[in-house]
Amino acid sequence: MGRVGFAAAAACAVAACAVAAALVGRRVRARRRWWRAVEVVGEFEEGCATPLGRLRQVVDALVVEMHAGLASDGGSKLKMLLTFIDTLPDGSEEGIYYALDLGGTNFRVLRVQLGGKGSMILSHKVESQPLPEELKSGTSEILFDYIASTLKNFVEREEDDSQQKTDERRALGFTFSFPVRQTSVSSGFLIKWTKGFSIEDAVGKDIARGLEEAMTTKGLNMRVAALVNDTVGTLALGHYYDQDTVAAVIIGTGTNACYIERTDAIIKCQGLLTNSGGMVVNMEWGNFWSSHLPRTSYDIALDEESPNRNDQGFEKMISGMYLGEVVRRVLQRMAQESDLFGDATQNLSVPFSLRFYSSKMYNGASN
């Protein structure tokens, strides 16, 4: 019995050691997988690093492109588009105004009542809704018909009977968040689509005229008084509250910037005269590119697989439309090399399955 007991005890000890070894091995493997995941994140973080020296190089490259874009059309990655806006709101405006905002994700209709100095915004009403995906690749007629119908319904709900009967043709502001070569403050021709739009028959067409034709068909007595980029609209709002505001930046579905430039610095339009001596320039900096930008392997792969390869390089690195996809690619590599997410790994194989959501900040009175 002594020998039997000893053998049984030895067997139990061996089994316990085997179990312990298995557990330790599993923990070691798990730890190795975890550290590999950490390494992937570390490599990505290192690739995104922007030390002060690199930032200065990016700034210098941006300034060079800005000057080239102001000197001639097509001479720079930055279009540096003229807006024909030389005077911005200053808070003295009065009356009721309507506006539209067509961006990459949402479509907004706005009615605002301005009270002038001391009162400023008396009331405002905004309706926002996601733009149906099918409108982004249909025809311009279908898109503008949708916009005009939505605007008409909004106007009819907001105006009382006396306002509806007026014969006065109302002025409409149209924020159109895509590259447009403007011929005046109220007209401009679409250069190209960005942010996932691909309505081919609209390229090269006057955007304001297309909207006005749709409004006429719907019986809306309105005209486009101002056609602006969303960045220019942001600058106008900032200047409305603070007249020291001279520039604006958008980082949303896409990215862009605008600023007030001296007219004598806009060489491609020599002799251009404005009352203020300046003009708002729409940079269209989403297409900016420099070798000094911290481009990672994920950025390169995303661009290679995009329908607009080698285009909108800066936008693909920082804007909401692409940030979720960059994160997905990082997580997918972590999953492939560390098995960190288990069965959920297969969900990371779907392009653009992760979406980036940003909050918005509003300055001014709310109603």
User: Which residues are tagged catalytic?
Assistant: 195, 230
One-letter amino acid at 27 equals: R
Is the dihedral angle over the CA atoms 141, 306, 104, 236 positive or is it negative? negative
Distances from the Cα of 288 to the Cα of 251, 279, 310, angstroms: 14, 21, 11
Whole-angstrom distance, CA of residue 128 vs CA of residue 143: 16
308, two tokens = 């607009």
CA distances from 363 to 234, 238, 279 (A): 11, 8, 24
Query: Taking the alpha carbons of 228, 234, 240, 242 in that order, is the dihedral positive or negative?
Result: negative
| CA 70 – CA 45 distance, rounded (Å) | 35
Rg from Cα positions in the chain:
28
Phi and psi, residue 106, nearest 5°: -120, 160
